[in-house]
Amino acid sequence: MQESQQNIQRYEEYEIDLRELLRTLMKNRVKIVLITSLITIGAVIYAYMTPKTYQVKAIIKIGEYKLANANANDNANAKVVIANASELSKELEILFIDILKNDKDREAKIDLLKKQKNFLEISAVGSSNKVASSELKKVIDYVQGNHKKILDDVKNLREAQAQQIEGKLTLLKNKTLPALLDKINRYKKDITIYETNFLDVQSNLKKIKEINPTLATIQINEQRYLADMLIKLKDSLEGFENEKNNIEVVQIEKYEEELNALKVLMKPYNYKNSEVIGNIMTNDYPIAPKKKLIVVVAFVTGLILSIFIVFFMEFIKGFKEEEKEA
């Protein structure tokens, strides 16, 4: 029974307190409306006076060039990406964000860099789409300009390699091979002469063997000399012919294959500079200020603040009355 009376008493006290709060709010409703309205109107003025900020975006695909040699079947489609997306992102962040962040005269700035494998998303903000796009274009031009230099270096290197191979082919075809053919022809003639002399000595040896043994001995020595020379000449001839075959079948063919492979790699379609995927993306509406959000937040803040001020003033007022009564 006692607990029930206590609960009723607490409820009555709570009801009284709630009524007092409502009376306070109703009594000061003009102040609440006034404060809330002032803050809200201030927010509206701020939202409409603040310069608009537009954002534009572009997705860049990092360029590449073909690496594989025509003979490298396993890597027939191997390609080299010009730059690492992460490293490129850091470079652009330093050049276009960190270094320029204190430049107060800039109408636009690079806002964000996102990297994903061989792609890079760049966004810029400015007072208009045109200004922001112009700032973004600077970054794109920088990337494409640097990457074009890299591609040009690769092309120049391959052109130099092609010229070097062409020089080797010219040397082999116009100097080394003709000189080798002259040697082979001379050796063939020498072998023919030595073979004729050998047969003559052999024929004479049969005739004079019994007639003049001393002369026969000289002829035998000469025959041996001719036989040794024939062996040496034929060995040398065989070496020259092997060298000639190696040049014609192996070296020239190898250099021609390398040259053809380089010429294929030097075709324009094997080089691709960094490029923007699609077009630069713009938005008809600014990203800032967010007028509706600012007004709503200001209204809620103003309402809460005005209620707090009213209750605080009532608290001070009540505190002073208690001091007077005391």
Digit-coded pLDDT (tens) for 230-248? 889 889 989 999 999 999 9
In which order are the strands placed within the sheet that holds 275-276? 108-116, 119-126, 54-61, 275-276
Cβ neighbour number for residue 219 with a 10 Å cutoff: 21
pLDDT value of position 325: 66
What is the rounded average pLDDT for all residues in the chain?
83
pLDDT at 156: 95
Supply the pTM of this predicted model.
Answer: 0.69
289 prior amide bond cis, ω within 30:
yes
Q: Could you tell me which of 311, 317, 306 has the C-alpha nearest to residue 30?
A: 306
Q: Are 305 and 79 in contact (CB under 8 A)?
A: no
Asked whether the predicted pLDDT for residue 207 surpasses 70, the reply is no
Over residues 276-317, the pLDDT tens digits come to 999 999 988 888 888 888 889 989 998 899 888 888 887 787
Checking if the pLDDT of 5 tops 80, the result is no
Q: Are 67 and 75 in contact (CB under 8 A)?
A: yes
Q: Would you place residue 71 in the very low, low, confident or very high pLDDT band (cuts 50, 70, 90)?
A: very low
